[in-house]
Structures are given as structure tokens and as C-alpha cells.
């Protein structure tokens, strides 16, 4: 009996100890969990990265071509704005009354529009164009020589021109400063007006005898012409034109070159017909200057005219030369 009681007591103690041990384990587990929570609560939490929206890109500001060329000018930007460069939009002038667009061409840094204007007896052609750089306005000599003679259309085809007009017929004379494609071909005194394109693409002018050809070439001049007269300066018709040996009142077919704004130019041609000692159409220098001002030129200059006046576009001569066909000339101005 005593042995049995002792066995029961022993079992009861063991069970009690086991229960106490389990309770202890439970308390330890609860303590561990609580400690872990406290530890995690004390850990620094990395902030979530902020949401950044990409800034919207505004289109670049547009600067319309100005009414007068500014040598060495750069398109301006708003102070502190470096997001996008200011670009010039190539906007052709509004066509005049009676002006019809004949064709256009945009390639290789050239943006060209050719149109025709018919007014009473006058048949005019306006070749307006923008260039990406002044080097894109080219000249060519007949057979590659200043003394050569060929039709404007033949020279144009030989150089792959899309548009060409006769130049100043420099091979017909022996005076003046002649620079073509950056090469000085002639440097002799002349009291005729000189026109040249400076390194910024602006048309500059003066009396040929006042310039030094080598210095012009060193300054980056690629083309110069010695003929004239100068017709338009600073947007105004030249009052006293320098026209040695040229008749101021005679109506003739004319070829002219002008500038409307930065790297924005035109070549102008007007036809005339000679019949029974009468000239139908054509222009005097004064009328030519008035017309070029009307077209928006800030600078304009007369090239060789008369029977030399020829306009070649897209593979053919589109005006009517007054000598029953083309006259062979020494040089052309062209785009390609």
C-alpha cells in the first residue's frame, strides 16, 4: 500500500513538473515574440522612393526669319533656358496677286519654291529658297574655265543642278574681282558694283575697286560677282545706282539675286520680247528694284541680262530667252 502511494505521488509530481515546464516554455515563447516585435519596431525603415514624373518636353521656340540679314547673328534664347535650341522656321513669303507656284524642291539642305507672276506685258519668275549653309549656293564655269562659253542649261546639266540662272558673264570682261567656289579667278580694278556672300551667308556689296580679292577669300568669301548695279540696300531701292556703261531707262530681260533674311534668298528673272525695234516686257533698273522691294528683298543686285537671261529648272529652260534660244555664257549660279 505504501509502495503504491509512493508510486502515485511520484507520478503526480512528474506530471506537475511537466506541466510547469510546459507553462514555462509558453512564457518563454511569448517573451521571445514580444522581444522580436520590439526589435523590429526599433529598426529604421527605409523610405519608399518618391514617384518622379518625367518633365514634359515643350517644342522648341520658333524664330521667324527677320526682315534684314544680321551678320554673325545667332537665334536668341530665353535667359537660363537650356532645354532646347531656338530654330528658325523656314516660312516662304505670301505669294503676290497673280503669282502661281510652278514647283518646289526640298533636299540636301535646300528648300526651294519656284513661281511665276504675269502682269500685263511682264512675265516674271521668282525662285525663293532657304539654305542650311551658304556653301550650298554654287557657281559653275563653262567647261570649268572663266573664258569658256556654253548654254546655261548645258552647264547646269553638267553639274547636276536642279535650278540655275546665268551669272554675271565674267568671262566676257577682264576687270573686277571674281571669286568662285572660294578661288580667286580675277583681281583687277573695276568701278562696277561688287556683290559677295560672306561667311555667314549675307549678301555684301561695294565698288569692286575698294576691295582686295585675297583678303575676301581669306575671310571666307566663296562667291563674288562684278556687274550690277546694286538695286536694293537695307530694304530700300537704291536712289543713285552705279551703272557704268548700262542704260538706266532701257527695258530689258533681267536676272537678279536678292536676300530676304538669314540664309533666305531669291533669284529673279523677267522676260522681254524684241519685235520691230520694240521691247515688250522687261524692266528698267528702277522697275526691277521696285519689284524686288515688293518681293521682300533687303539686298538685291542685278546680274547679266538681255539675251543672257535664262532660267533652268528641273531639267529644262522655263523662261523665254529673247535671242530665239539660249545665249552661250561663261557662268551660272545654281542649286542642287
pLDDT digits (tens), the chain, 336 positions: 444 444 444 555 545 555 555 545 555 555 444 444 444 344 444 444 333 333 333 333 323 333 333 333 333 333 344 444 444 689 999 999 899 999 999 999 999 999 999 988 899 999 999 999 999 999 999 999 999 999 999 999 999 999 999 999 999 999 999 999 999 999 999 999 999 999 999 999 999 999 999 999 999 999 999 999 999 999 999 999 998 777 777 899 999 999 999 999 999 999 998 877 788 999 999 999 999 999 999 999 999 999 999 999 999 999 999 888 899 999 999 999
Beta carbons within 10 angstroms of residue 6's beta carbon: 10
pLDDT of residue 7: 44
pLDDT of residue 69: 35
Residue 304 in contact with residue 315, Cβ under 8 Å? no
pLDDT of residue 89: 84
Number of H helices, E strands in the chain: 4, 24
Termini Cα distance of the chain: 130
**Measured between alpha carbons, how far is 180 from 36 in angstroms, rounded to an integer?**
89
Residue 232 in contact with residue 258, Cβ under 8 Å? yes
Residue 266 in contact with residue 293, Cβ under 8 Å? no
**Judging by beta carbons within 10 Å of its beta carbon (0-12, 13-18, 19+), is residue 280 exposed, middle or buried?**
middle
**What pTM value is reported for the model?**
0.74
Reading the block at residue 106, the C-alpha cell is: 526640298
pLDDT of residue 18: 56
pLDDT of residue 278: 83
pLDDT of residue 53: 34
- Closest Cα to residue 199, out of 228, 220, 227, 177? 220
pLDDT of residue 68: 34
Residue 92 in contact with residue 105, Cβ under 8 Å? no
pLDDT of residue 276: 77
**Judging by beta carbons within 10 Å of its beta carbon (0-12, 13-18, 19+), is residue 182 exposed, middle or buried?**
exposed
According to DSSP, residue 96 is labeled P
pLDDT of residue 36: 44
Give the CA dihedral 200, 201, 203, 205, nearest 10 degrees.
Answer: 50
**Measured between alpha carbons, how far is 209 from 203 in angstroms, rounded to an integer?**
18
Amino acid at each position: 500500500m505504501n509502495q503504491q502511494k509512493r508510486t502515485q505521488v511520484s507520478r503526480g509530481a512528474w506530471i506537475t513538473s511537466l506541466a510547469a515546464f510546459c507553462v514555462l516554455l509558453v512564457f518563454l515563447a511569448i517573451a521571445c515574440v514580444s522581444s522580436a516585435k520590439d526589435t523590429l519596431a526599433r529598426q529604421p525603415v527605409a523610405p519608399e522612393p518618391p514617384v518622379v514624373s518625367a518633365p514634359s518636353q515643350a517644342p522648341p521656340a520658333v524664330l521667324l526669319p527677320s526682315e534684314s540679314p544680321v551678320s554673325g547673328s545667332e537665334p536668341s534664347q530665353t535667359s537660363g533656358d537650356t532645354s532646347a535650341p531656338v530654330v528658325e522656321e523656314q516660312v516662304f513669303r505670301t505669294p503676290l496677286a497673280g503669282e502661281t507656284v510652278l514647283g518646289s524642291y526640298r533636299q540636301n539642305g535646300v528648300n526651294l519654291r519656284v513661281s511665276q507672276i504675269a502682269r500685263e506685258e511682264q512675265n516674271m519668275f521668282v525662285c525663293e529658297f532657304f539654305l542650311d549653309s551658304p556653301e550650298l549656293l554654287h557657281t559653275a564655269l563653262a567647261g570649268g574655265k572663266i573664258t569658256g562659253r556654253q548654254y546655261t542649261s548645258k552647264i547646269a546639266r553638267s553639274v547636276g543642278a536642279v535650278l540655275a540662272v546665268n551669272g554675271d558673264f565674267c568671262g566676257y570682261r577682264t576687270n573686277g574681282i571674281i571669286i568662285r567656289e572660294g578661288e580667286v579667278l580675277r583681281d583687277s580694278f573695276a568701278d562696277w558694283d561688287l556683290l559677295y556672300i560672306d561667311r555667314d551667308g549675307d549678301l555684301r556689296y561695294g565698288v569692286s575697286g575698294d576691295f582686295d580679292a585675297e583678303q575676301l577669300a581669306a575671310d571666307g568669301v566663296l562667291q563674288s560677282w562684278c556687274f550690277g548695279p546694286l538695286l536694293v540696300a537695307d530694304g530700300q531701292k537704291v536712289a543713285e545706282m552705279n551703272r557704268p556703261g548700262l542704260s538706266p531707262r532701257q527695258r530689258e530681260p533681267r536676272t537678279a539675286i536678292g536676300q530676304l533674311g538669314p540664309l533666305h534668298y531669291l533669284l529673279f528673272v523677267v522676260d522681254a520680247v524684241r519685235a520691230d525695234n520694240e521691247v515688250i516686257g522687261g524692266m528698267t533698273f528702277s522697275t526691277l528694284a521696285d519689284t524686288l522691294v515688293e518681293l521682300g528683298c533687303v539686298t538685291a543686285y542685278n546680274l547679266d541680262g538681255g539675251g543672257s537671261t535664262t532660267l533652268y529648272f528641273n531639267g529644262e529652260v522655263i523662261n523665254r530667252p529673247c535671242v530665239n534660244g539660249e545665249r552661250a555664257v561663261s557662268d551660272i549660279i545654281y542649286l542642287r
